[in-house]
């Protein structure tokens, strides 16, 4: 009788991490472009974002990836998008992303002024491994804003994300 290996589980886990990471970054690109901002900054930071997201997804320390859109003259928040990570999300082996829900929500959230800037913040659990290019920061205040949940945006074999946006009310 021959031994059976667990390579399928390792491959599936690696595939899941790659899928969720790439879809999270592609959703950010879609949001940035559709709200009227230049995605070149995202392109410049892609490798660093990908390294942080995939490392912390793999170690299960990633809780949230946030896109903050702000006025660079006043350093005040204009809009914010949160991608919350859900571990244990679904047990099937399907991989998907709901870009239509995102496009619809971008329309509801509205465009931002082209002179706005943006940055990425990752929220992690204690004990996370360090990743080069990432360090502590303080998020901009959401006072005067309301959070609107869109719901599930990405799913992949045990890891999913829910997305929401913040809008001034």
Q: What are the tens digits of pLDDT across the range 7-56? A: 444 447 888 888 889 999 999 999 999 899 999 999 999 999 999 999 99
Q: Mean pLDDT across the stretch 92-121?
A: 79
Q: Mean pLDDT across the stretch 141-148?
A: 96
Task: For 79, list phi and psi in degrees, rounded to 5.
Answer: -160, 160
Q: Mean pLDDT across the stretch 60-72?
A: 97
* Mean pLDDT lowest among 25-34, 66-75, 95-104: 95-104
Q: Which helix (H) or strand (E) holds 77?
A: strand 76-89
For the cut 90, the answer to whether the pLDDT of residue 1 exceeds it is no
Among 62, 26, 20, 34, residue whose Cα is nearest residue 154: 20
Helix (H, G, I), strand (E, B) or coil at 118: strand
- DSSP letter string over 10-71? HHHHHHHHHHHHHHHHHHHHHHHHHTT--THHHHHHHHHHHHHHHHHHHTT-EEEEEEEEEE
For the cut 80, the answer to whether the pLDDT of residue 89 exceeds it is no
What the chain holds in terms of domains, given with CATH numbers, is 7-136+144-168 (3.30.900.10)
Neighbours of 161 (CB within 10 A): 24
pTM of the shown model: 0.86
d(CA 78, CA 75): 9
């Amino acid at each position: 009788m021959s031994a059976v290996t667990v390579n399928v589980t390792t491959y599936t886990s690696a595939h899941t991490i790659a899928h969720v990471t790439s879809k999270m970054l592609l959703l950010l690109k879609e949001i940035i472009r559709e709200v009227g901002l230049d995605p070149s900054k995202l392109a410049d930071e892609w490798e660093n974002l990908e390294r942080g997201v995939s490392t912390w997804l793999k170690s299960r320390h990633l809780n949230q990836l946030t896109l903050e859109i702000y006025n660079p003259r006043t350093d005040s928040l204009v809009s914010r998008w949160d991608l919350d990570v859900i571990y244990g999300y679904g047990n099937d082996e399907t991989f998907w992303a709901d870009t239509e829900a995102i496009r619809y929500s971008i329309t509801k959230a509205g465009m931002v002024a082209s002179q706005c800037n943006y940055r990425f913040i990752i929220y992690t659990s204690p004990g996370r491994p360090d990743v080069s290019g990432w360090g502590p920061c303080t998020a901009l205040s959401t006072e005067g804003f309301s959070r609107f949940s869109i719901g599930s945006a990405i799913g992949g074999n045990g890891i999913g994300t829910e997305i929401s946006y913040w809008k001034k009310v």
